[in-house]
Amino acid sequence: LMQLYFPLNFMGTLYREIRQSMIDIGEMFSIMARDPEVKDKPGASPLKVEAGELRFDDVVFAYTPERPILRGVSFTVPAGRTVAVVGPSGAGKSTLSRLIFRFYEPQSGRILIDGQDISEVQQESLRDAIGMVPQDTVLFNDTIEYNIRYGRPDALHAEVVEAARLARIDTFITSLPQGYDTQVGERGLKLSGGEKQRVAIARTILKAPRILVLDEATSALDSFTEREIQQALEKVSEGRTTLVIAHRLSTIVNADEILVFDRGTIAERGTHLQLLAKGGLYAALWNRQRQVDAARETLALDADTA
Ligand code: ATP
């Protein structure tokens, strides 16, 4: 058994590394072996996105039969609205995004976009319709302009600049000696986590998908960067159907609906204020996060005055 454990454990780590460093969800599927079960059905037609409603209808899912991850999950993100998903680590939050991209398929239940079952449409059209801002972005070894334009290769320079402005990364770029021609990536200028995330946001603004999946970074950012990113995320999700996989509660208070996941089911749902009033799991998560934030602030203050 131990002989199996190490390779499997390694593959788990590798999987996580690859997943977290994805430049674009399309890349993910070409680099990684997909679940061979997930194939286009013969004669599948392209997804037709209109308003962009996303619906989970009694979705049941497990990676391995003995460990159910989603036990009949139903929710709707109405067109243009924002729904946030929160819950303890391992509750199955990121699994939702893997199912939306059809990296895996539910054992039962359906995922629908504008009423079309995503298991019935061409995968490429599905992935074209959805934008993803991942937890961590790896940049191409190329210019910063190229890295943003990747969202829409035929975009004009002015459009790249506008996207960068909306993503609040433009001032940073123009402060560099070579501006938009600066080489980034492993062999170029290394950007911070927050800067990379804003490049990913600019890219998504250019792509302008109807449906967005935001997988928030778990890493602690300083509060200024966090505010900048939050504003950029609000910009990119404006008027788009958005599912936010949230790791920090402070960023989702304005969501139209918050779903609290626990052990594969939606344990609570409602707006921030409704959930606080309820005094349940969400309220407990919220209070715990506030304590952590307060402790962080105190530490930062101590460091400043030391
Ligand atoms: P976190 O907040 O820590 O990111 P999460 O709620 O997003 O957690 P998921 O990534 O959706 O959690 O994972 C849910 C469960 O499924 C976890 O227990 C995880 O170990 C398991 N899991 C994730 N990916 C796989 C996989 N490819 N094969 C088997 N199990 C997996």
| Averaged pLDDT in 10-residue chunks for the chain of 306 residues | 56 50 44 60 91 97 93 97 91 90 94 96 91 82 95 94 92 96 91 88 91 76 73 84 84 89 94 95 88 75 62
| Alpha carbon of 216 to ligand 1 centroid (Å) | 15
pLDDT at 54: 98
Ligand 1 lined by 265 (C-beta under 6 Å) = no
Ligand 1 lined by 90 (C-beta under 6 Å) = yes
Ligand 1 lined by 20 (C-beta under 6 Å) = no
| Alpha carbon of 38 to ligand 1 centroid (Å) | 19
Name the residue at shortest CA distance from atom 18 of ligand 1: 90
Secondary structure, 3-state, 221-248? CCHHHHHHHHHHHHHHHCCCEEEEECCC
Strand 54-62, strand 108-113: pairing: antiparallel
| Alpha carbon of 94 to ligand 1 centroid (Å) | 7
Ligand 1 lined by 95 (C-beta under 6 Å) = yes
Ligand 1 lined by 69 (C-beta under 6 Å) = yes
pLDDT at 24: 46
pLDDT at 215: 80
| Alpha carbon of 63 to ligand 1 centroid (Å) | 9
CA distance 69 to 263: 7
pLDDT at 121: 95
pLDDT at 3: 59
pLDDT at 31: 40
CA distances from 300 to 123, 224, 292 (A): 46, 13, 12
Closest CA to 82 of 223, 251, 225: 251
- What interhelical angle do 193-207 and 157-166 show, nearest 10? 120
Ligand 1 lined by 96 (C-beta under 6 Å) = no
Residue among 11, 28, 85, 93 whose CB has most ligand 1 atoms within 8 A, to mutate = 93
Q: Of all helices (H) and strands (E), which one includes residue 59?
A: strand 54-62
pLDDT at 35: 60
Residue 119, amino acid: S
| Alpha carbon of 60 to ligand 1 centroid (Å) | 15
Ligand 1 lined by 203 (C-beta under 6 Å) = no
Atom of ligand 1 nearest to the CA of 261: 6
pTM of the model: 0.81
